[in-house]
Amino acid sequence: MTYQTKIDTFGETIKQNGAPWDAIDAEAATRMQIQNRFPTGLDIAKYTAKIMRQDMDAYDADPASYTQSLGCWHGFIAQQKMISIKKHFGSTKQRYLYLSGWMVAALRSEFGPLPDQSMHEKTSVPALIEELYTFLKQADARELGGLFRDLDAARESGDAVEAKRIENAIENHETHVVPIIADIDAGFGNAEATYLLAKKMIEAGACALQIENQVSDEKQCGHQDGKVTVPHEDFLQKIRAIRYAFLEMGVEDGIIVARTDSLGAGLTKQIAFSKEPGDLGDQYNAFLDCEEVDPANVNNGQVFISRDGKLMAPKRLPSNLFQFRAGTGEDRCVLDCITALQNGADLLWIETEKPHVEQIAGMVDRVREVVPNAKLVYNNSPSFNWTLNFRQQVFDAWEETGKDVSAFDRDRLMSEDYDATELAIEADEKIRTFQADAAKRAGIFHHLITLPTYHTAALSTDNLAKRYFGEEGMLGYVKNVQREEIRQGIACVKHQNMAGSDIGDDHKEAFAGEAALKAGGKDNTMSQFEAA
């Protein structure tokens, strides 16, 4: 429907309602409706789920069509990210948002900063999803509001060609609303709790939920020690719970991301239930670290399982947890992935201890022997020391091929002393192409950085504090912040506009006509930035 057709439709509705609606302006109502394309979170979830499904199909056809996101802990951060993407690349295509449970715990809990152990309020997660989309919708309203003002100016000047161009831009406006992959941790309880929280997250707008196979009340950050996994059937119950939540909310093509922490998790809380040799429970138990027991020499409190006709005692720790055999992490990861995909998951997440394409690819190759179109979401984690990891990878590759590495100390490769060396330059190039390389070789459909805006906020605040409270004083802000905002075209230099003052003026004019007391007059100091 064209812009003018929408106006005419509203005009007809106003006409039919007669006198009570005489003061309603059809074009103003049309503009408000266009500025609020997604009235509810479910509208967003349905829209973005289709985008993700299309992107997944595109990736299957061509691995160069991978997708990316950055983790955002506040609606404003998400908004500015998407505004920047549209400014620099002209489109939001294949670019998403990531909602990190780590950042919710560290930054959004009423308890204050918390470790990533699912101790924060579970309702803070859907609340953040709603906040993110509120800010993205406001970015739409702001951008469209600018187009409406440009349209009014073109009409007033009698430039029909320009007015038509702007109308086309309004009709083809690309929204800032993009898919969010949202972290539901280990489900915050049993399968019923997972289902209830999933519904809240979907209702807030999430089209993709990421869940991990850790014990909910023992949950740890994927890059910390002490992780405890659950038997497969326990995890599959939660995958099914999320699918039921999507279906109940009418988002039939919602996406489930199944994360396995088994590579770094050496513990389990339960011995899996098994009916017969070789079933899923038996496969899980086969990874347990056990010792054969002489029935004549049984200790008090020991737990036993039978394996290959032998009586075995799993190693039980004082914490009442059981440990897996060393070196089984990769095999457990592969089984986790295959099982999750066979039981309703759409995408996988393998939490690794380092960013190494061949390590990831080795596991994905094994999964794809069973599920050929298996795809990953991968955490390009700030917990990795990317510089050191890739310099060591290059060092090892050089050493293996016989290249002289005597000028380098492998343990000190992070040092600035090596920054200009051939080794460091080659490592940086591998970092630059890591996402494309891993998408092609290791089946990674979506690359994300979990906590980037946590780190950028800390770094930029440190730099500002150092300069402003130091000798530079006000120049520390003007030179390094405002001047750069102006020169780089950062929309926030007009912070009143970004906060919605112009949108408010548009509404005031619609509500009050000539009586409107608008903020955007000649005395508004934002006019100082018009030349920018």
Residue of 169, 215, 465 lying closest to 319 (CA atoms): 215
Question: What does each C-alpha distance from 87 to 81, 230, 457, 506, 521 come to in angstroms?
Answer: 10, 45, 21, 24, 27
Q: Of the listed 207, 221, 290, 333, which one is catalytic?
A: 221
Residue type, 300: N
Residue of 291, 376, 307 lying closest to 336 (CA atoms): 376
**Other residues' Cβ atoms within 10 Å of the Cβ of residue 248:** 12
Return the HEC string of 364-410.
HHHHHCCCCCCCEEEECCCCCCHHHHHHHHHHHHHHHCCCCCCCCCH
Is the CA virtual torsion 349, 211, 339, 263 positive or negative?
A: positive
Residue of 94, 181, 96, 77 lying closest to 139 (CA atoms): 77
Using CA atoms of 66, 67, 68, 73 in order, give the dihedral in degrees to the nearest 10.
Answer: -150
* 221: DSSP letter: -
Give residue 402's region: left, alpha or beta (phi > 0; psi -120 to 50): left
Structure tokens at 117: 């152990």
Strand partners, 98: 71, 181
Structure tokens at 137: 């919708």
**Other residues' Cβ atoms within 10 Å of the Cβ of residue 422:** 12
Cα–Cα distance for residue pair 273/310, rounded to 1 Å: 18
Residue of 215, 309, 229 lying closest to 261 (CA atoms): 229
Residue 51 makes CB contacts below 8 A (sequence gap 6+) with 178, 179, 207
Confirm whether 333 is a catalytic residue.
no
Residue 279 makes CB contacts below 8 A (sequence gap 6+) with none
Cα–Cα distance for residue pair 488/362, rounded to 1 Å: 43
Cα–Cα distance for residue pair 376/364, rounded to 1 Å: 8
CB–CB of 430/394 below 8 Å?
yes
Residue 243 makes CB contacts below 8 A (sequence gap 6+) with 254, 256, 344
Which residues are known to be catalytic? 221
